[in-house]
Each structure stands twice: as C-alpha cells, then as structure tokens.
Amino acid sequence: MMRRIAIASVLFVAAGCATQEQAQKKQQGPTTKEERMRITNQSPFDVAVCQPKTRSLPQPANQEVILGALTSARPQVLECLVDPKSRGAADTTNVTVKTTVNDQGGTHAVSGENLTPEGTACIQKVVDTQVPLTALPKGAQPVTSESSFVHETSNSASVKFGINPGSDYSGTVRLALPTWCDCYASFGNKAPPILKASVDLKKGLATAADITFDPVGTPEGDQLAACLKGKMMALPAKLETDELKFGYRFVQFNSQASEPAADLPPELRFLQLDLVRNQRSADVAIASGARTNAAEAYDAIVTKYQKSKDWKLIDELKTKCKALVDSAQGWVNAIDSQLKVDQASLAIVQELKAKDTAWADVETKSQEVIGNTEKYLANAQQRLKDDQAACPKERK
C-alpha cells in the first residue's frame, strides 16, 4: 500500500540533477570572477508555507494517516532547510522523521545527515504542530512510521551567504519571505504571478536606496508587489562599493492551489503541479488510512454480531457500514483528484515537447504515472463496490 501511494514524481526528470563536480564547486564557493559577480539566492518560494494545512486526522492513527499527514507538511519542512544555519557543508541533507504512537501518546523523532541543531529544532516544531498525535485506545498495538525528506542545495530552494553583496541581500529577502505572509493573504488557492524588481544599493545606506517593481497588470499582483516593496525597503543592506543595481525575480508557487496557474510559463506550471500533486498524494494516503480504520471497525462489529446474533446490533452494523462506504468514496475521490493533476501535468509536458523534444522522456514518465494512478483508482472503485455490497440489506 505504501509503495502504491508514493508514486515517483517526475519533477527531477525535467529539472535534472547537478553533477558531482558542480556540487563540489558549489560547496567550495565561487571561483571565477563571473561566479563571484552572479546574483544568487533568488530561489522559489512556496506560499503554502504561510498557510499550513490544518487537518482533522482520522482516528486512531495508522501508518497511512501518519505518512499522509507528514507528506502534507513537506513545504514547511523544506522551508526549514532554506536557511544555511539549518544545514551542514554537504550539498545533500537527508531528514528522517520516526513516529511512534501507542496508548500513552505519540512522538515524532527528527534526525538526519547534514542537519544542524537549528535545522532539527525547526523541523521538530513543524511536525509537532502540523501532525499532532493522539493516544491509541487502551491496549492497542503501537503504530510506527518513518518518513524521509531530501534537500539538495543544487536543486532545492536554499540560501548561501558570502558570495557578493547582491546575493547576500537577495538571501536576506528570501529568508524573510515566510515572515511576510500578510503580503500573500489573497493567494490562498492559487499561485502568485512572477514579479520582477530592480534593486538599488548604495554605499553608506543601511537599507536599499530604491526598489521598483515592474507593473504586474492585475490588482492582486500589483498589491503583492507594493507589499513586498515595503518589506524589502526595511531590510538591512551593506555595500562596500559606491553603488550596485541588480534585478530580483520572485518565482512563487502554491502547493495548496486549487486554481490553474495560468499566469506562469509552461515550465513553471509543470513545477507548480508537481507541488500540488505532492499534496494530492498526501490526501490519498490519509483517505486510505480512514478507510482502513472504518473497515476494521465494521469487521469488529460484524464478528460481534455473528457470535451473539443480537438483533440490537443491527443499527450499529448499519452505521459502521455507512461509515465504511463513505470513507471508501472519499478514498476514490482523493485518487481521482490526484489523477486530474497527473493529466494536467502531461498536457503541459506535451506542450513543452512540441517546442523541445528533450521533454520526450518526461512525457513517457508522465504517462507511466497516469497509468499507475488509473490502476490504483480502479482498485479503489472496486473496493467501494465491495464495501457497498457488504452492508446489511433492508428487507421489504
């Protein structure tokens, strides 16, 4: 079950991975004049960080529910690792969250490779807040689960200071974005547009001399730009030379979006959908766990009835079987939502392939993902029919 839920993402097929040589250069710092002058630290921001999804998790907790809930916290976990204080010197940071729940309560234990105490504390706070654990019924078997997160500075959002003043200022902006959530209040169900700002730093000034944003063309976009400008103008800036002008490009996603990201170019729409799919897979895991709980509860009352033949249990049989059917329908609905995201991703890939044949491999992978999701959906639909058939029938 766990393997079926965790269908591989095609994101990294398109984005590609840095070679070992590139990763080593990144760790050693800029070596050429061009690298020292290049403005970095302008990595994407997932505005879902500003609105952690609060879920009423099915009880009691089981592996599927825990897996899904921790998967849904992925934006917040990875945001912890944007800050260089959270990571060691290596390019890759591996995080493991081991969860244990018993009749006394539950705990998440965070550990990892290349993870600093600051990073551990940040992730611990995320999982404790977003995935609260409730004690199992007395005498119930303990539940254990393990979730993994991988952050790579070569292709994950990250900040590195000490390259040049423009990059340092950009890094300060990027780290501040999660504290500027009021600017993103109107983007609860959609991704913000791309914003382009011109930054002017001058020697002797404690903040930027000037920041101007290109017009966005929509009221929400222009309001976001105005809000971000005000925040940026308050940030500290330091410059040794007389003046430095450079551009800052805001690329912002929303993994909780329910609306298409029509304002983004195809490549970014593809990445946006990959983030959304991660949340849909979390929904599927939680819905599957809810059905597992409902099936166990119904099986228990059926066994009790078969032993006692007590007609007074009929109403409870009906109630728990209805709960089983409802949970199976919720599971089907969650997989169907995931399938729609898969299909939308394939459509974008085919649009990109028409212009660049290098996307052909991604198209093949996307089609495989859709095939797996369709099979999973068919299995869930059959399980729903079986659950409906198992319910007590009224005699007329």
Model confidence pLDDT, tens digit, residues 23-34: 333 334 444 444
Q: What percent of the chain has pLDDT over 90?
A: 83
Q: Give the predicted TM-score (pTM) of the model.
A: 0.88
pLDDT band at 395 (very low <50, low <70, confident <90, very high): low
pLDDT tens for each residue of 6-17: 323 333 333 333
Q: How far apart are CA 113 and CA 94, in angstroms?
A: 5
Taking residues 101-119, what's their average pLDDT? 97
pLDDT tens for each residue of 43-60: 999 999 998 877 778 999
> Is-contact 129 52, C-beta < 8 A?
yes
pLDDT band at 65 (very low <50, low <70, confident <90, very high): very high
pLDDT band at 251 (very low <50, low <70, confident <90, very high): very high
For the chain, domains (ranges, CATH) are 32-253 (no CATH), 266-390 (1.20.1440)
Q: How many CA within 13 A on the CB side of residue 43?
A: 22
pLDDT of 347 > 60? The answer is: yes
pLDDT tens for each residue of 162-219: 999 999 999 999 999 999 999 999 999 999 999 999 999 999 999 999 999 999 999 9
Please provide the distance, in angstroms rounded to a whole number, between the alpha carbons at the two ends of the chain.
Answer: 40
> Is-contact 135 106, C-beta < 8 A?
yes
**What was the pLDDT predicted at 176?**
98
pLDDT band at 109 (very low <50, low <70, confident <90, very high): very high
State how beta strands 195-202 and 243-250 pair: antiparallel
